[in-house]
Amino acid sequence: MSEQTIVHCTFERHATVILDIFNDAILNSTALYDYKPRAPQSMVGWFDAKRADGVPVIGVEDGDGMLLGFGSYGTFRAWPAYKYTVEHSVYVHKDHHGRGLARAVMRELIVAARKNDVHAMIGGIDATNTGSIALHEQLGFKHVGTLPQVGIKFGRWLDLAFYQLLLDTPDHPIDG
């Protein structure tokens, strides 16, 4: 395997590859409960929202600078009391699954979440995605519930499993 580097993704350098990875996941997997490929223009708003919220987009590149996978997090629920909770996602290019890339990105997301005073990281995972579930469990995430048949894709009902990692941050949480 070639050298890999963790990077902070930017619109200018990574938007096209991230869009390709998203669209492949939409069309060929249940990693995203979405039906239609995203348009290139959607990446402008996606990166703008991440930047405005101070949220990292962390990627892993090979030795040639090609983005192989990425991850980020965002708002878990829109109400203020959830301000210390995020929902994360990680996607790896279809040709690079099974090489530990998701694990590397997840570890960096956890570090970034701690630095940003996140207390709870939530992963919503299709219940049949045993690889992602195993990865989350290896990283200390706990299964906190499954919502049966909340999605439908490829002609079948999909169960959504939630995995949570509680962090030791923030030092002094503030409500209100």
What CA–CA distance (Å, rounded) separates 31 from 97?
A: 13
pLDDT of residue 2: 63
Instruction: Read off the tokens for 63.
Output: 């030795």
What CATH fold (topology level) applies to the domain 4-166?
Aminopeptidase (3.40.630)
Where are the chain's structural domains?
4-166
DSSP letter (8 states) at residue 100? S
Give pTM, 2 decimals.
Answer: 0.94
Q: Which residues pair with 61 in a beta bridge?
A: 5, 67
Which contacts (CB < 8 Å, 24+ apart) does range 28-32 have? 28/94, 30/126, 30/128, 30/129, 30/151, 30/153, 30/154, 30/158, 31/91, 31/126, 31/129, 31/132
Q: Which residues pair with 4 in a beta bridge?
A: 62
pLDDT tens per residue across span 118-134: 999 999 999 999 999 99
pLDDT tens per residue across span 59-103: 999 999 999 999 999 999 999 999 999 999 999 999 999 999 999
- What is the bridge-based pairing of β-strands 120-126 and 67-75? unpaired
